[in-house]
Amino acid sequence: MKAVTWCGKKSVQVDNVDDPKILNPRDAILKVTSTCICGSDLHLYDGYVPSMQRGDILGHEFMGEVVETGSAVTNLKKGDRVVVPFNIACGGCFYCRRGQTSACDNSNQNAWMVEKMYGFSPAAMFGYSHMFGGYAGGQAEYVRVPFADVGPMKVPEGMTDDQVIFLTDIFPTGYMAVDNCDLKGGETVAVWGCGPVGQFAIRSAFLLGAESVIAIDDVPGRLEMARQAGATTIDMSDQYVFEKILSLTSGRGADACIDCVGLEAHGMTLDAIVDKVKAATYLATDRPHALRQAINCCRKMGTVSVPGVYAGFLDKFPFGSAFGKGLTFKMGQTHVHRYLPKLLAHIQEGRIDPTFVITHRMSLSEAVKGYQMFSESKSEVIKVVLKP
């Protein structure tokens, strides 16, 4: 089959590789019908994530048609169309039983690698390095889905791939970021970073009862997309972000502040973090500019929610401000499995049309160009969908 493989820094290829096989009774094999390039794939592309090996198949956002199931998979049959969460979860461990599937204890077969850094390992992910499980991704014609009796959700008839593909990651990720803010209705939510996750956070904030949303970014196209959803926008490079937010909130500050930027925008490398952990130093690793601003702009007793990825130590983290204002912090990888039915219903009932985020479409064989384009002009590209 054809698959997008990692070949080293700034190098991917569309290669011919062996078809995946059922390895365990709970596996299924999908014929992929749509897959996306994610912002976090660029960290692999840029060589920032350790434990990648030449030939690793990329892609954690994909959907497709079931072509084969293992003996223990009774909920799926050949021909079912399914969408698959980016994180892999067993469904039965301490965390999975609580719906906290991104913390699954059983899916990362290389957990020891992450345990060295964090003490514990989160769930494995498709196509995202050996330290996060070493599972082949879905930027391919076929993919093996472990724990297929737990992850994949059947797509109702009549719904297109474009409508449901973002349930794999960015829609639930934006939604959980807002859900974590525990809105009661009528709040002002401020969102830093208007990439794909930020765009879904903005729309989810309205779905969950926010009265107004303030979107902060420095890319004109992204701010325009935020305005189309009804957000008031502020240019992140504006030195008066704090003052502007106060003027929009009667001087009180935003009720909830969401950091969809994370360390990612600053190109901080995970391997550097590993090195620093090894050296047992306590130097800063991540550059939390957006997070600092989010903390400053949050009203007293408000919530700061962080879907943006952080990996190491934070320098000049305004913990005094956070304590003084009595802030609540929520963060972490998305429990995609938990949100699928609810978000599917939002799409089916017309409360959101996720296709707004698609800016580019290509065939899988053009993936090399897709990665180059995304990497060189992030501003123009919000979401790339690939069709095998």
Binding site for Zn ion (CB under 5 A): 38, 89-90, 93, 96, 104, 106, 169
Least Cβ distance, residue 139 to Zn ion (angstroms)? 11
Least Cβ distance, residue 86 to Zn ion (angstroms)? 6
Instruction: Give the list of residues 6+ apart from residue 3 with CB closer than 8 angstroms, or none.
Output: 14, 15, 17, 57, 136, 139, 140, 141
Please identify the residue of the shown chain whose CB is closest to the bound Zn ion. Answer: 38
Q: Which two tokens stand for residue 99?
A: 């719906």
Amino acid at site 132: F
Nearer to Zn ion, 72 or 283 (CB): 72
Q: What interhelical angle do 289-297 and 241-248 show, nearest 10?
A: 30
Q: What is the C-alpha separation between 165 and 61, in angstroms, rounded? A: 7
Identify the residue whose tokens are 């390095």: 129
Least Cβ distance, residue 58 to Zn ion (angstroms)? 11
Nearer to Zn ion, 93 or 159 (CB): 93
Beta strands in the chain (DSSP E): 2-8, 11-16, 28-37, 61-69, 81-83, 87-88, 124-125, 142-145, 153-154, 188-192, 212-217, 232-235, 254-259, 298-306, 328-331, 360-363, 384-387
Nearer to Zn ion, 134 or 172 (CB): 172
Q: With contact defined as beta carbons under 8 Å apart, do 335 and 102 qualify?
A: yes
Least Cβ distance, residue 93 to Zn ion (angstroms)? 3
Nearer to Zn ion, 90 or 189 (CB): 90
Q: With contact defined as beta carbons under 8 Å apart, do 154 and 69 qualify?
A: no
Q: What is the C-alpha separation between 178 and 46, in angstroms, rounded? A: 29
Nearer to Zn ion, 302 or 310 (CB): 310
Nearer to Zn ion, 70 or 172 (CB): 172
Least Cβ distance, residue 98 to Zn ion (angstroms)? 10
Least Cβ distance, residue 340 to Zn ion (angstroms)? 15
